[in-house]
């Protein structure tokens, strides 16, 4: 993404803040794994969305007063010894080229400048990106600093940026959509590689190796999220990450994978028989999911309440399962349909939007149409998941380039 993209994102966020506000966002830092080993650093996605910077221990402040706004970056200073071990740090010029921010200061000055600004009376409201999913998660820098400032300056009003950030990230810009389309091309190549390598006796980690190899050859060093790749009975664990199972003749392979390109993630699921040929029961179930998915892509357009998207898919999928004799009444659907599948994608694979139940589909939204069927008595579980871009008058299936019909899948696998 170009710096103009990040600059526009900051401007939009500032527009949502009241005068007398200061927003503080952190890039984060890698947690310790064990001994003196740390996990690889992964920058906070909203921080990257606003700056284009993925260096740890970086801070962005956005200040808004009645007639002025000011953007400041605080970065780690040069350190020749530290950089010898962990690589070059961004210079002020590097950071400005990436973000479009011209005021850049050493990280060590952050606390002094912050307290000086508060002491001057110029700040009445402090915004942080509070994003815990569970209360028992350890506090990050935002929570720690907010607690300190609330004690020292009890008159300050402290608010959460999450609602504004989620709303803003929900509507994708053209450059984001182009990046996502590139990610779709890479994901397609990885899935086809798995299909064409597939055979009875193959281990799940070998399928994963095929996918990872394709990503690496496209310059993608890690997938957009941990790949879900399973065979046979392991398909009945929705989020499966073990990779040690072996595909037996007649097993379905389930994969739920996605590449990340220029920070945009896609999320694509395909199921196929490891031997390359759908048997009668696999074909029956797959056609149910395929018909449901196609129905959704014919239906989706601007103006549909998001809370209804999953329900519409579930009801249509139920009718397909009823037609083949698996369900007698709608209440039976839960035996085979285990999850919904209309989560938004973008800078996160589950781009959290708020509040989902009040959202209406609009141009620029990208979310998954995820149709899963899990029939344990037949030993068949899979999902067909595609990425839906809402357009001005309908929608576009961004992942339709990846084989998805029985005929397409069998044709690709026949070329092994």
3-state secondary structure (DSSP) of residue 270: strand
Residues 259/223, Cβ–Cβ less than 8 Å: yes
Q: Residue 357: which pLDDT band, with cuts at 50, 70 and 90?
A: low
pTM of the model: 0.95
Cis before 333 (ω within 30): no
SS3 sequence of 99-117: HCCCEEEEHHHHHHHHHHH
- CB-CB contact of 240 with 227 (8 Å): no
Residue 134 gets which letter from DSSP? S
d(CA 351, CA 170): 8
* Spatial separation of the C-alpha atoms in residues 138 and 95, rounded to whole Å: 29
Three-class secondary structure of residue 163 per DSSP? helix
Are 161 and 372 in contact by the 8 Å Cβ rule? The answer is no
Distance, CA of 264 to CA of 181 (rounded, Å)? 9
Q: Measure the CA–CA gap between 336 and 356, rounded to whole angstroms.
A: 25
Q: Is there a cis peptide before residue 365, judged by omega within 30 degrees of 0?
A: no
383, 375 Cβ separation under 8 angstroms: no
- For the cut 70, the answer to whether the pLDDT of residue 414 exceeds it is yes
Q: Is the pLDDT of residue 233 over 90?
A: yes
What integer is the mean pLDDT of 330-347? 94
pLDDT greater than 90 at residue 11: yes
Question: What pLDDT was estimated at residue 252?
Answer: 98
Task: Indicate if the pLDDT at residue 354 is higher than 80.
Answer: no
Residue pointed to by tokens 């402090």:
126
Token pair of 377, please? 């008595």
pLDDT at residue 396 greater than cutoff 90: yes
The proportion of the chain whose per-residue pLDDT surpasses 90, expressed as a percent, equals 95
Cα separation of 325 and 319, whole Å? 10
Phi and psi of 170, rounded to 5°? -70, -40
Question: Which pLDDT does position 358 carry in this prediction?
Answer: 79
Q: How many Cα atoms within 13 Å fall on the side-chain side of residue 82?
A: 7
Position 356 scores a pLDDT of 65
CA distances 100 to 92, 194, 209, 401, Å, are: 11, 41, 39, 35
Residue-wise pLDDT for 44-81, tens only, equals 999 999 999 999 999 999 999 988 999 999 999 999 99
Looking at 27-102, which runs of residues are DSSP E strands? 32-34, 37-38, 59-64, 69-75
Using the predicted structure, report yes or no on whether residue 316 has a pLDDT greater than 70: yes
Q: How far apart are CA 355 and CA 369, in angstroms?
A: 19
Half-sphere exposure of 160 (CA within 13 A, CB side): 8
Q: Cα 287–289–290 angle (5° rounding)?
A: 60
**Given CA atoms 380, 191, 402, 169 in this order, what sign does their dihedral have?**
positive
Confidence label for 416 from pLDDT (cuts 50, 70 and 90): low
State mean pLDDT over 243-253.
Answer: 98
- The token pair at 271 is 């199921």
Measured in degrees and rounded to the nearest 5, phi and psi for residue 299 equal -90, -40
What DSSP state is assigned to residue 33? E
Which band of pLDDT confidence, cut at 50, 70 and 90, is reported for residue 319? very high
pLDDT attached to residue 314: 97
106-165 pLDDT, tens digit per residue, is 999 999 999 999 999 999 999 999 999 899 999 999 999 999 999 999 999 999 999 999
Instruction: Dump pLDDT digits (tens) for 164-217.
Output: 999 999 999 999 999 999 999 999 999 999 999 999 999 999 999 999 999 999
Which three-class secondary structure string do you get for 273-328? ECCCCCCHHHHHHHHHHHHHHHHHHHHCCCCCEHHHHHHHHHHHHHHHHHHCCCCC
Q: Which DSSP state fits 367?
A: E
Provide the b/e sequence for 10-26 (b: ≥16 CB within 10 Å). Answer: beebbebbeeebbbbbb
pLDDT for 289 equals: 98
Q: Mean pLDDT of all residues in the chain?
A: 96
**Predicted pLDDT of residue 415:** 77
User: How large is the angle between the packed helices 280-299 and 306-323, nearest 10 degrees?
Assistant: 150
What confidence tier does 352 reach under pLDDT thresholds 50, 70, 90?
confident
On the CB side of 318, CA atoms within 13 Å amount to 17
Q: What is the pLDDT of residue 301?
A: 98
> Measured in whole angstroms, how far is the alpha carbon of residue 128 from the centre of its chain?
21
């Amino acid at each position: 993404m170009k710096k103009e993209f990040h600059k526009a994102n900051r401007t939009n966020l500032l527009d949502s803040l009241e005068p007398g506000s200061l927003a503080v966002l952190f890039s984060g830092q890698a947690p310790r794994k064990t001994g003196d080993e740390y996990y690889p650093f992964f920058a906070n996605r909203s921080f990257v969305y606003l700056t284009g910077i993925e260096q740890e221990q970086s801070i962005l402040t956005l200040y808004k007063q009645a007639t002025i706004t000011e953007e400041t970056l605080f970065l780690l200073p040069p350190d020749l010894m530290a950089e010898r071990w962990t690589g070059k740090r961004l210079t002020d010029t590097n950071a400005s080229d990436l973000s479009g921010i011209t005021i850049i200061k050493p990280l060590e000055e952050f606390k002094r400048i912050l307290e000086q600004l508060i002491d001057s009376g110029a700040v009445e409201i402090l915004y942080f990106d509070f994003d815990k999913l569970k209360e028992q998660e350890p506090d990050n820098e935002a929570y720690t600093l907010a607690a300190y400032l609330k004690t020292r300056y009890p008159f300050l009003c402290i608010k959460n940026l999450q609602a504004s950030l989620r709303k803003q990230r929900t509507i994708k810009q053209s450059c984001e959509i182009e990046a996502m389309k590139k990610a779709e091309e890479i994901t397609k190549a990885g899935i086809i590689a798995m299909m064409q390598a597939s055979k009875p006796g193959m281990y799940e980690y070998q399928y994963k190796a095929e996918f990872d190899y394709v990503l690496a050859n496209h310059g993608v060093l890690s997938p957009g999220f941990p790949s879900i790749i399973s065979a046979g009975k392991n398909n009945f664990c929705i989020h499966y990450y073990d990779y040690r199972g072996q595909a037996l003749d007649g097993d379905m392979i389930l994969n739920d994978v996605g590449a990340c390109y220029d920070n945009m993630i896609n999320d694509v699921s395909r199921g196929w028989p490891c031997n390359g040929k759908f048997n009668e029961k696999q074909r029956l179930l797959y056609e149910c999911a395929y018909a449901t998915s196609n129905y959704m892509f014919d239906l989706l357009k601007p103006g549909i309440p998001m809370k209804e998207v999953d329900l519409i898919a579930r009801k249509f999928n139920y009718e397909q399962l009823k037609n083949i004799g698996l369900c007698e009444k709608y209440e039976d659907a839960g035996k085979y349909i285990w999850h919904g599948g209309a989560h938004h994608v973008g800078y996160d694979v589950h781009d959290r939007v708020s509040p989902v139940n009040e959202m209406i589909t609009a141009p620029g939204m990208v979310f998954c149409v995820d149709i899963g069927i899990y029939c344990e008595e037949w030993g068949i579980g899979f999902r067909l998941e595609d990425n839906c871009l809402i357009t001005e008058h309908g929608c576009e299936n961004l992942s339709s380039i990846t084989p998805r019909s029985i005929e397409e899948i069998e044709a690709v696998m026949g070329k092994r």
